[in-house]
Amino acid sequence: MSLQLMSLVTPVAPWTVVVDEDGVVVASGFASIDDTVARLTPDKQATVRRVGGSGPVSAAMYDYLAGDAAALEAVEVRQPGGPFQQRVWQVMRQIPAGQTWSYGQLAAKAGRASAARAVGTACARNLVAPFVPCHRVVRSDGSLGGYAYGLDVKRWLLDLER
């Protein structure tokens, strides 16, 4: 199995995406190629090769950057995680572009209203941002909270989607 890597320049940071042979996104983020690949397991790291930006995933990326906030919704993703994390990521993809939900709202919609901290953990472990849009999750007071790629990137993504 080989993984393909693509990287695009954005106004705030490079956007690096790793796709498997089936076209499923297995890693993505606003970080360098090295930092993105380092988030993969060692066996997967050894199979990554760089490719040009072609195919449906890169088309969705370009469309998203051009203002089509819904462009990433149809892209298939896969990442390791327990059942509740998988549920949180699934529900997170239902947050409409341009909107935000609090950690508590997301926990309730995922079926465990008291699990806001576990939702925060799922956000932190999300390997496929922004395809799974953890940038749309904020604190209960509406403040941005954290983001693995920095608050400038989170703010930029939210502004892009509005």
Tens of pLDDT along the chain (162 residues) come to 688 899 999 999 999 999 998 999 999 999 988 899 888 888 888 888 877 666 899 999 999 999 998 999 999 999 999 999 999 999 999 999 999 999 999 999 999 999 999 999 999 999 999 999 999 999 999 999 999 999 999 999 999 999
Tokens of 62: 């370009």
Q: Kindly report, residue by residue over 65-91, the tens digit of the pLDDT.
A: 999 989 999 999 999 999 999 999 999
| Domain ranges, residue 34 | 3-65
Determine the 3-state secondary structure of 41 from DSSP: coil
Catalytic residue among 25, 27, 129, 134: 134
Place of tokens 């935000």: 100
134 is catalytic: yes
Tokens of 86: 């998988």
Domain total for the chain? 2
pLDDT at 90: 98
- Partnered with residue 14 across adjacent β-strands are 9
Same domain, 25 and 54: yes
Query: Is 134 a member of any domain?
Result: yes
pLDDT at 55: 83
Same domain, 97 and 56: no
Same domain, 118 and 148: yes
Please tell me the pTM assigned to this model: 0.93
Could you tell me which of 138, 119, 140, 148 has the C-alpha nearest to residue 35? 148
- Partnered with residue 50 across adjacent β-strands are 5
